Amino acid sequence: MATFEPRQEPAANTPPTAETCYQCGAKNVNAQSFCGACGSSLSLQEYISKQVSENLAATIRDRDVLETESSIKVFERAWGWVKIVGAIAAVLLAIMGAGILWKVSDWWHAVDTAKSTVTETANTAKQQIQDSSNSSLTSVQNASLAAQKASGQAATDAKAQSQLMSRAASETKQELSQESADVKNQVEATRSQLGAAQALRPGMEETQKQLATALEQVQAQQKAISSSQNFVKEIFSSYTTDIISVGNEPKSAYAIQPQGEKPFNINGKNIAFVYLLLHSTPIQGTVQLQWGVFAQPRNSYFMVAHNLLVTLWGDPQGGLGQNAFDISYFPDTGDKETIKSLTVRDGRVYADGEPLPKLGQVDPDFKGNKWMPAPTQAK
Q: Are both 47 and 172 inside the same structural domain?
A: yes
pLDDT average, residue stretch 124-129:
75
- 211-222: b or e for each residue (b if 16 or more CB lie within 10 Å)? eeeeeeeeeeee
- Strands 342-345 and 265-266: what pairing? unpaired
Q: Is residue 376 part of a domain?
A: no
Q: Contact at 8 Å (CB) between 271 and 312?
A: yes
User: Of 18-27, 152-161, 228-237, 252-261, where does the model show the most confidence?
Assistant: 252-261
Q: What is the dihedral of CA 152, 157, 162, 165, to 10 degrees?
A: 180
- For residues 179 and 184, what is the distance between their CA atoms, to the nearest angstrom? 8
- For residues 71 and 67, what is the distance between their CA atoms, to the nearest angstrom? 6
Q: Are both 103 and 250 inside the same structural domain?
A: no
Residue 362: CB atoms within 10 Å: 9
Residue 138: CB atoms within 10 Å: 10
Q: Is residue 193 part of a domain?
A: no
Q: Who's near 140: CB < 8 A, 6+ residues apart?
A: 56, 59, 60, 63
Q: Is residue 7 part of a domain?
A: no
pLDDT for the residue 94: 74
Q: What is the pLDDT of residues 48-87, one digit of tens each?
A: 877 777 777 777 777 777 777 777 887 777 788 778 887 8
Cα 335 from chain centroid (whole Å): 57
Q: Are both 58 and 153 inside the same structural domain?
A: yes
User: Of 10-14, 185-189, 234-238, 286-290, where does the model show the most confidence?
Assistant: 286-290
Which residue would you say has higher pLDDT here, 146 or 302? 302
Q: Is residue 10 part of a domain?
A: no
Q: Are both 143 and 266 inside the same structural domain?
A: no
What share of the chain in percent tops pLDDT 70? 84
Q: Are both 28 and 147 inside the same structural domain?
A: yes
pLDDT for the residue 373: 82
Q: Are both 22 and 129 inside the same structural domain?
A: yes
pLDDT average, residue stretch 265-287:
89
Q: Is residue 316 part of a domain?
A: yes
247 sits in the region (left: phi over 0; alpha: psi -120 to 50; else beta) called: left
Q: How confident is the model at residue 363 (pLDDT cuts 50, 70, 90)?
A: confident
pLDDT average, residue stretch 179-203:
80
- For residues 202 and 77, what is the distance between their CA atoms, to the nearest angstrom? 113
pLDDT for the residue 66: 72
pLDDT for the residue 233: 67
pLDDT for the residue 135: 74
The alpha helices in the chain, defined as continuous H runs, are: 44-96, 104-237
- For residues 116 and 121, what is the distance between their CA atoms, to the nearest angstrom? 8
Angle between helices 104-237 and 44-96 (to 10 degrees): 130
Q: What is the pLDDT of residues 7-50, one digit of tens each?
A: 454 444 555 566 788 788 888 876 677 888 888 777 777 778 77
The structure's pTM equals: 0.40
Which residue would you say has higher pLDDT here, 88 or 67? 88
Q: Is residue 60 part of a domain?
A: yes
How big is the chain, counted in residues?
379
Q: Is residue 189 part of a domain?
A: no
Q: Contact at 8 Å (CB) between 355 and 369?
A: yes
pLDDT for the residue 141: 77
Of the residues 177, 201, 229, the one at which a domain ends: 177
Q: What is the pLDDT of residues 314-350, one digit of tens each?
A: 887 778 888 999 999 999 888 888 999 999 998 899 9
pLDDT for the residue 129: 66
Q: Contact at 8 Å (CB) between 100 and 132?
A: no
Q: What is the mean pLDDT of the chain?
A: 80
Q: Are both 333 and 263 inside the same structural domain?
A: yes
Domain count, the chain: 2
Residue 253 lies in domain:
239-355
Q: Are both 173 and 61 inside the same structural domain?
A: yes
Q: Are both 246 and 118 inside the same structural domain?
A: no
Q: Contact at 8 Å (CB) between 275 and 309?
A: yes
Q: Are both 24 and 165 inside the same structural domain?
A: yes
Q: Are both 246 and 168 inside the same structural domain?
A: no
Q: Is residue 363 part of a domain?
A: no
Residue 313: CB atoms within 10 Å: 19
pLDDT for the residue 200: 77
- Strands 325-329 and 240-244: what pairing? antiparallel
